[in-house]
Amino acid sequence: MKGRGLLLAEVEERVAERLPSAVRFTPGRRLVVRALARGEGPVSAGELYEEVRRQVPLSSLYRTLTVLADVGVLERHHDADGLARFELGEWLLGHHHHLVCVECGRVQDVEVDDGVEDRVAQIASGIAAGGGYTVTGHRVDVEGVCEPCRV
């Protein structure tokens, strides 16, 4: 994925540049961004907390996720059970879709080749046109059972 090849310092620099002047890039926010940059896909607040709990209190983590999502640094997704999951925005990671395990809840980023992406965009445009919309983007979450859960 485009953004996954970035060094953590580059990710932090791009995030810092994107933040409005009223939003400080605090050490706690940096830790959250680093944890998300190292991940393989969207994670829940609970999963993220397991990684940063020694440095970031839970209440600060929730505030950080809200603030960074509100300014477009993070994207908020919801799994099949409605659990919010967060990842760095596509402006940083590049466009991608997700594989979601319905057994364990794991979410994995996946890129598709240009031919598949073109067909997905055509389908999205057809669906939007049927409802009187103009497409501004799309997301695809494919649900299934991951390999560890199948065993």
pLDDT tens profile 81-92? 788 999 999 999
Percent of the chain with pLDDT over 70: 95
pLDDT at 145: 95
Q: Output the CA–CA distances (angstroms, integers) from residue 140 to 11, 128, 148, in the order listed.
A: 24, 14, 22
Instruction: Give the Cα separation of 18 and 10 in Å (integer).
Output: 12
Binned at pLDDT 50, 70 and 90, residue 3 comes out as low
Amino acid found at 78: H
DSSP state letters, 37-65: HHSSS-EEHHHHHHHHTTTS-HHHHHHHH
Report CA Rg, the chain. Answer: 16
Instruction: Give the Cα separation of 70 and 59 in Å (integer).
Output: 17
pLDDT at 32: 96
- Residue 97 burial by CB count (10 A; 0-12/13-18/19+): exposed, middle or buried? middle
Pick the range with the lowest mean pLDDT from 22-26, 28-32, 63-67, 105-109: 105-109
pLDDT at 36: 95
Assess whether pLDDT exceeds 60 at residue 4: no
Helix (H) or strand (E) holding 85: strand 84-88
pLDDT at 88: 95
pLDDT tens profile 60-71? 999 999 999 999
pLDDT at 1: 46
Assess whether pLDDT exceeds 60 at residue 73: yes
SS3 content of the chain, % helix, strand, coil (to 5): 50, 15, 35
| Cα dihedral 27→85→68→12 (10° resolution) | 50
Mean pLDDT of 117-133: 95
3-class DSSP assignment, residue 16: helix
Domains belonging to the chain, first-starting first, are 1-94 (1.10.10.10), 96-151 (3.30.1490.190)
Please state the pTM of the whole predicted model: 0.79
Q: What is the mean pLDDT of the chain?
A: 90
